[in-house]
Chains A and B, each alone.
Chain A
Amino acid sequence: MNPWPFVIAAYALTFAGTLGLSIAAWRAMRAAEQRADSLKRDR
């Protein structure tokens, strides 16, 4: 059995998950902190 499709699939899924959560966490943080900062300026 050729092992490479399994190895490549494992690495691809891991990178997809890692990058996906990176982007999601960063976007959520930036949006929330910008809203909090704009509140401060409104005051």
Chain B
Amino acid sequence: MPVCRLPVTKNPRNKKSCLATEQSVAARCPFCLTPYMSNFIVHFGQLATGLGAWAGVKTMPMHAYANPARFLSIARPVTPWLFWGGLVLIVLGCACGLFLTPADYLQGQTVRILYIHVPAAWLGMGGWTGIAIAAVMQLVWRHPLAAIAGRAIAAPGALFTAICLVTGSLWGRPTWGTYWQWDGRMTSMLVLFFLYLGYIALGNASASNGNAGGVSRVTAIFGLVGAVNIPIINRSVVWWNTLHQGPSITLRGSSIDGAILWPLGLTVLGFSLWFGAIVLMRMRAILAETKVEARMQRLARG
């Protein structure tokens, strides 16, 4: 539900622009064949995050991939597809967002930062959701790869949170008139960044201490506790008066016109695939390092 803390003067165009959204998407977007595609783009973010997490937990027999060899036989061929597919979609989406879409009626050209700011925000929060899911799998099912997955997710998650903060700051100066204000949304997002730094430090310190490259259980608990911040970030603009505007994209639909919205689908999908590729690369690196270390220890023991 699009909620605006400020009472918006009743806008009779609101309804019209919703109708116009569907028409203009069909007319403008070369990749969208039907107006219904706009709905697809709107719901993609939430659906992908939810389904991905659900499928990861549900369809995988808990210990089917516990054997690293089995995991690697799938991760090895998938990595380049995710990586290059993601990169191509990112470049395509950014090019469309920079050159093909119209400027916003109020903000002008600055609105183009949307196409990187929004995926960065979603993936920064999605990354910590992944850390929390991995933590549950590590603590409850003792899944050996979960501890490694949590550690692998942290770096790209922290990067996207940083990108979200920096691009948001660069967006704020020409529109709001300030680089930074301590409002609920910005403060809670900065807290997420510091949580990532803490998790990375804890994880790196514990990984080589008999945890076979994964994070320790204390670190996993930290990841679970930190997840409290995710709903707070999401609801901050609804609960509190903030400088940041309310949510544009919700389960009900989007208050971003289709003509401006469509490249966002490309960049969200692209950054998500790339995120997956980085996680797989880092998991492969940690598994290989662990293998070498175990071998060295065996040799040392003679």
Contacts and interface: CB of A to CB of B under 8 A. Distances in A.
Are any A and B Cβ atoms less than 8 Å apart in their complex?
A: yes
B291 A36 contact: yes
Interface string B169-191: 01101100000000000000000
A6 B288 contact: no
Interface residues of B, number: 37
Interface of B: 83, 87, 90, 94, 98, 107-110, 112-113, 116-117, 120, 155-156, 159, 162-163, 166-167, 170-171, 173-174, 274, 278, 281-282, 284-286, 288-289, 291-292, 295
A7 B113 CA distance: 6
A14 B163 contact: yes
Contacts of A35: 288-289, 292
Contact of B291 (A1, A9, A14, A39): A39
Name the residue in A1, A17, A18, A28 with the highest tally of chain B Cβ atoms < 10 Å from its Cβ.
A18
A29 B176 CA distance: 42
A25 B278 contact: yes
A6 B113 contact: yes
A29 B288 contact: yes
B282 A25 contact: yes
Contact of B171 (A1, A10, A25): A10
A14 to B, nearest CB: 5
Interface residues on A, range: 20 to 34
A31 B285 CA distance: 8
Contacts of B94: 11
14 contacts: A3-B108, A7-B110, A7-B170, A9-B170, A10-B113, A10-B116, A11-B98, A13-B163, A14-B167, A17-B159, A22-B83, A31-B285, A35-B288, A36-B291
Give the 10 A-B residue pairs with the shortest CB-CB distance, closest first: A32-B288, A36-B288, A3-B110, A29-B285, A25-B281, A10-B167, A3-B109, A32-B285, A10-B170, A29-B281
A1 B70 CA distance: 56
Contacts of A9: 170
A33 B107 CA distance: 49
A32 B162 CA distance: 27
A4 B156 CA distance: 27
Contacts of B156: 21
